[in-house]
Structure 1
Amino acid sequence: MKDIKRKGARSTKDIPDFILKQLNNGEIETANLVEWLAVNQIVLLENILKQLNRFRYFEPVLIAVNNLKKQTVNTINEVIGTELLKQSILNDDTDLITNISTHESDLVRCWATYSIGRNEKLKIEDMLEQIQFFAADTHFGVREISWLAVRPAIMRNLNQSLEILLKWTFNDNENIRRFATESIRPRGVWCEHIAALKQKPELGLSILNSLKADPSKYVQDSVGNWLNDASKTRPDFVIDLCKRWKVESSVKETTYIIKKALRTIEK
């Protein structure tokens, strides 16, 4: 059972040894970003593959990690997920992806997102359909990695992705609605910018309009950040849209979004 009450340590040195051991064994989820960054993914990988009786995959994955020019939590995460996808294909081992997709460890589930995002056989509609499971995950880390994993494919298929993601804005799950904007932020965080949306944010207008009064602060923050991104290249678009929203939607949710959207412009 997931320990949803645990707050986690404020610094790496304060993480109890027994907690770190459980994290590296994949027995529990990380409770915060400090723990997420503290997990040794190589140790975790070794332990998980042993538990799944697939330790033969460890060496090729480790080689790929060691070949990284820059090792960060995110690059290691991506390479492990991508290499596990390769091993599942080479060995016709579909159970491997199923096992890591539903694993107790949030970082292991993060690996699974790349088995979708780096699967060249998937069309964009199938990729987004499969990633929605992770977009709805209860863990913050899995939700963030889920959009990072498919963002390159979204960029390559932007118009079709925008049509699909518009439908997500009507989903009952706030995490899925938030994915619809966070995955296509013009600048984003820890990822390549989307040049088309930086220059022509009007492309995302249907999604923005759909969420302009969303009841979830999680979604509101994403919409506000999206517009703040856009304001750095197209301040005219953001100013005009916010003026229109003030008239069309004079509710506290929209007011909050507008404030976040204009924060760079009003500095």
Structure 2
Amino acid sequence: MIPQHISNRKGARSFKDIDDEVMEYLNNGLIETANLTEWLSVNQLALLKKVLDEIKKPAWYDSFYEAIAVQKKPSANSNTKVIGATFFQLTHDKDILTYLYNHVSDVPRCWAAQWIGLKETEIDKKLEAIRPYAADSHFGVREVAIFASKDAIIKNLDKTIEILSKWVLDKDENIRRYAIEAIRPIGVWTKKIDALKEHPEKAISLLAPLKSDTSKYVRDSVGNWLNDASKTRPDWVQKICNEWEKDSPSKETAYILKKALRTINK
């Protein structure tokens, strides 16, 4: 039973403010991280050791330790990627993948997202496999779902846009948001998509259906996408914003336009 003061916490604002009791719960995989500060603070090797004991594979630990140790600049993001890749190299056991996917802690679910991102090679199969992680209840897993699929998306951009044109119509706001966030021209912590920096019009079939989306989570992504594009194609972004302002005079569209034009209007 998780104490109420742990389960109801808001999450520390800085690393030094994270309570030792909270860290113990996090590193033992008993709770999800509450915010980015906690996610970055998790001792992934300690948590991994516990998970490997749970799946009765403690002998695998050295392989993971060595893979993490050889990194030049280890970080929470890179450790997540390395652990997911090492799982992929060591086993194709679906039961282990399912165990990680259903773990109460968001961090093993992040490892599973990285693993599944490597498992499928064809873009349609990769996106379908990553979809449950894109819809995860935790922000961290949703972001890793983007990291795990970004390279394949860049290599198969036209096909990806074709597939995601259906995702933007999904009732799940997390799926709609992934469809936009995964192809942001610049984005955060991910590779840039030069083809969309130069030709943002390629993505209009994904953006237009969401120009007055009911979800702030989705509207933020659409606005940020257009703001990204405005740094290389301000002419096109201004044109789209003018059209949307005329065709969709809603407060939701106005919210998107304000975010979209923040660089242009500096």
Residue 115 in structure 1 maps to residue 104 in structure 2: no
Whole-Å Cα distance in 2 between the matches of residues 5 and 202 of structure 1? Answer: 44
One of 72, 87, 94 as aligned partner of 1:84: 87
Whole-Å Cα distance in 1 between the matches of residues 141 and 9 of structure 2? Answer: 18
One of 46, 65, 69 as aligned partner of 2:68: 65
Identity %: 51
What is the number of residues matched between the two proteins?
Answer: 263
Deviations 1:13-67 (A, max 9, x none): 2222221111001111011111111111111111111122111221111111111
**Counterpart amino acid of residue 25 in structure 2:** Q
SS state at 2:142 partner: helix
Structure 2: segments with no counterpart, 5+ residues: none
**Counterpart amino acid of residue 211 in structure 1:** L
Match of 1:158 in 2: 157
One of 47, 52, 72 as aligned partner of 2:50: 47
Task: Tell me which moved more, 170-179 or 10-19.
Answer: 10-19
Task: Tell me which moved more, 8-17 or 18-27.
Answer: 8-17
TM-score, normalized by length of structure 2?
0.96
Q: Give yes or no for contact 1:226–1:261 (8 Å, CA) kept in 2.
A: yes
Match of 2:11 in 1: 8
Q: Which runs of structure 2 are paired with 1:86-101 in the superposition (5 Å)?
A: 86-89=89-92, 93-101=93-101
Q: Give yes or no for contact 1:155–1:194 (8 Å, CA) kept in 2.
A: yes
Give the 3 Å change call, closer, same or farther, for CA 122–4 of structure 1 in structure 2. Answer: farther
In the TM superposition, what is the alpha-carbon distance from 1:114 to its structure 2 partner?
0.8
Over the residues paired in the alignment, what is the CA RMSD in angstroms?
1.4
Match of 2:178 in 1: 179
Match of 2:256 in 1: 257
Give the 3 Å change call, closer, same or farther, for CA 4–244 of structure 1 in structure 2. Answer: farther
Deviations 1:185-228 (A, max 9, x none): 00011111001000000110000101111000000000000000
Whole-Å Cα distance in 1 between the matches of residues 59 and 76 of structure 2? Answer: 23
Deviations 1:57-86 (A, max 9, x none): 211111111111210110111010111111
Deviations 1:137-180 (A, max 9, x none): 11111111111110111111111100111100111110110000
List structure 1 segments (4+ residues) > 3 angstroms apart after TM superposition: 1-5
TM-score, normalized by length of structure 1?
0.95
In the TM superposition, what is the alpha-carbon distance from 1:4 to its structure 2 partner?
6.1
In the TM superposition, what is the alpha-carbon distance from 1:12 to its structure 2 partner?
2.0
